[in-house]
Amino acid sequence: MSVTISDIEAAAARLAGHAVETPLIESPALNERLGRRVLIKPETLQRVGAFKFRGAYNRLSQLSADERTRGVVAFSSGNHAQGVALAARLLGMPALIVMPSDAPAVKAEATRGYGAEIRFYDRMTESREAIAAGLAAERGAVIVPAFDDPDVIAGQGTAGLELVRQAKARGAELSAVLTPIGGGGLIAGVSTAVKALSPSTQVFGVEPAGYDDTLQSLRAGERIGVKPAFRTLCDALESPAPGVITFPIVQKNVSDIAAVDDAEVAQAVRYAFSVLKLVVEPGGSVGLAALLAGKFASLPEGPVGLVLSGGNVDPDLFAALLRGET
Amino acid sequence: MSVTISDIEAAAARLAGHAVETPLIESPALNERLGRRVLIKPETLQRVGAFKFRGAYNRLSQLSADERTRGVVAFSSGNHAQGVALAARLLGMPALIVMPSDAPAVKAEATRGYGAEIRFYDRMTESREAIAAGLAAERGAVIVPAFDDPDVIAGQGTAGLELVRQAKARGAELSAVLTPIGGGGLIAGVSTAVKALSPSTQVFGVEPAGYDDTLQSLRAGERIGVKPAFRTLCDALESPAPGVITFPIVQKNVSDIAAVDDAEVAQAVRYAFSVLKLVVEPGGSVGLAALLAGKFASLPEGPVGLVLSGGNVDPDLFAALLRGET
């Protein structure tokens, strides 16, 4: 059940003409501040505003004609929901998304805008897995996992494929690549691509403080769950444990993981606004937050690739962050 | 005193390695909404967050050693000030900026951050031209005009050069290019590049309502000044009249000009935030506003190049725009 560079190449072929090949962006001001080149991969500019479209499209485009008719079910607080909803629309199949009732309004609206049906559930009293399983059984629909699926991981990996190739095209040998970690689908895919194309490049992950299940799992040498009593600004990264498929890939490929707190994330969001002129959601900016706060003592010298994974943030929350209200 | 494609090519050579070659961005969601391809040139990602760095660097890099010692003076409410300040710092010369006391705080801070000295003046009672002339005479410094200067225009034209070449590289024959108009430096340079490299491409300009001096001048066949009693959200575009050098270029190259009001601009800023995930200042978004509001009846079919000219907006104003408070 692992994922190879061939799987990622095949995913890239499926995505060609459907996903955006996001550009590589470089900010002289950020380079100067950090004393190194930072090659930014803004997946904020991807369809649905996040890398999640890549994995969803790669998975859905491989369904049989019969499966397409019965459609797909996914559970997600946001970006995966939008990725599945849009991929389903483009491929002409029905999609049902199971979403917590407190999901960011902007993500729920966008998901509905892509034509998906939404079933809200209560985070505290209901199990999204049980609801999704029941609905999928009723309809004979396929459940599309948010991260623990080889095709989803391979799809996310195409961002890493592009990043390494684009960096080489502009003469940069990446010493490291940084990505956010939720369930680990992005870093599993990206690190597989990076290690295949540029074996000496190290891969680092960043989690929100309190939701550092993957860091704790790495240290323990086995999958550890966390259950923090508090929320984080990074709604996209609130996974309670690494995936069964993603974790061994992380163990093999990832050099280190850092955790950033809400204040560091808020500063990164503001920095992206004022200096990079990019709209990045809190969860998408944790890699930038880690760089700005100097979280990685072991980061090698040289150019760094930085994945800004998503930009779907409620306007009111963004305004609050800009005004320092949160 | 005109500007040729050779001047723009020479400017591009001077800017190489100093200015950012901003990428071309395409949003499937925007394409779908407008029923055509829109190739976005985000000068928001340029150094200092606006195209102005191009013209300033092109002008300043041609000063003699003696002139460099005495430095430069500029008057500007913002983006030109930052462009001159950073170009001067990179070239090791002193810069003094004459700036209205009500300029956006973010622009004044950034200008100071680049090491320039600032002299504030009162928009209502003082003449910035007189202040700048006095200070320049005192110091033997060169005054760098914001737009009415062949080297400044040629520098801005490099954005057009890149746009046409990048569009061709991705197989798009541009039917039209849209840029904002303040004093006309950007559209004069960009239209010169566009008409030289792709003669059939039409160029359109957009001004803020009330500050449509270039549109009125085009209609009158001569330079007309405006003096509106109100401000506009587009602080970067509040020029009272087209330039002596820029206007004949606009007359020769520009097919049509539209005006957009504050409500249309605010909507474009919000659209850029929520769909494009780009931070665009009000003045930088007038082209997008015109497209979204369908302002150009004569816009030809086919792919359009859209210059988003700057992203320097006060966080508090941006928050107010997101919350619909302004």
Residues of B with CB under 8 A from a CB of A: 20, 23-29, 42, 44-45, 47, 49, 106, 270, 273-280, 311, 315-316, 318-320, 322-323
pLDDT at position A120 is 94
Q: Which of A18, A57, A111, A277 to mutate to test the interface with B (most CBs of B within 10 A)?
A: A277
**Residue in chain A lying closest to B320 (CA):** A319
Residue with tokens 């998901």: A111
Mean pLDDT of B1-19: 95
Phi, psi of B186 (to 5 degrees): -65, -50
pLDDT at position A1 is 64
Chunked into runs of 10 residues, chain A (326 residues) has average pLDDT values of: 93 98 98 98 98 98 96 91 96 95 86 93 90 95 97 98 97 97 97 98 98 97 92 90 97 98 98 98 98 96 98 96 93
* Cα Rg of chain A, angstroms: 18
Kindly provide the b/e burial profile for residues A130-165, where b requires at least 16 CB atoms within 10 angstroms of the residue's own CB. Answer: ebbeebbeeeebbbbbbbbbbbbbbbbbbbbbbbbe
Catalytic residues of A, which ones? 52, 309
In the sheet with A142-143, reading across from the earlier edge strand, the strands are: A117-121, A95-100, A72-75, A142-143
Minimum distance, in Å, between the CA of residue A270 and any CA atom of chain B: 9
Residue with tokens 């609050």: A320
Per-residue pLDDT of B189-227, as tens digits, reads 999 999 999 999 999 999 999 999 999 999 999 999 998
pLDDT at position B76 is 86
Q: How many C-beta neighbours within 10 Å does residue B280 have?
A: 32
Task: Say how far apart CA A93 and CA A72 lie, in whole Å.
Answer: 8
- Alpha-carbon distances of B78 from A284, B83, B235, B311, B312, rounded to whole Å: 30, 9, 8, 11, 8
Per-residue pLDDT of B158-183, as tens digits, reads 999 999 999 999 999 999 999 999 99
The H or E element that residue B257 is part of is strand B254-260
Residue with tokens 């001096």: B213
User: Are B284 and B41 within 8 A, CB to CB?
Assistant: no
User: Are A234 and A282 within 8 A, CB to CB?
Assistant: yes
Minimum distance, in Å, between the CA of residue B323 and any CA atom of chain A: 6
Which residues does chain A have within 8 Å of residue B311's beta carbon, measured at their own beta carbons?
277
Task: Say how far apart CA B105 and CA A305 lie, in whole Å.
Answer: 32
Which alpha helices (DSSP H) does chain A contain, by range?
Answer: 5-15, 28-34, 52-60, 65-70, 79-90, 105-113, 128-139, 150-169, 185-197, 213-220, 246-253, 262-271, 286-292, 315-322
Per-residue pLDDT of B221-248, as tens digits, reads 999 999 888 889 998 998 889 999 999 9
pLDDT at position A123 is 83
- State yes or no: pLDDT of B122 exceeds 80: yes
Which residues does chain A have within 8 Å of residue B49's beta carbon, measured at their own beta carbons?
275, 277
Reported as a pLDDT band with limits 50, 70 and 90, residue B62 is very high
| Amino acid residing at B12 | A
Phi, psi of B204 (to 5 degrees): -120, 145
Percent of chain A as helix, strand, coil, to the nearest 5:
50, 15, 35
Task: Say how far apart CA B103 and CA B201 lie, in whole Å.
Answer: 36
Across the interface, whether the CB atoms of B45 and A276 are under 8 A apart is answered yes
**pTM of the predicted model over 0.90:** yes
Residue with tokens 């460099």: B68
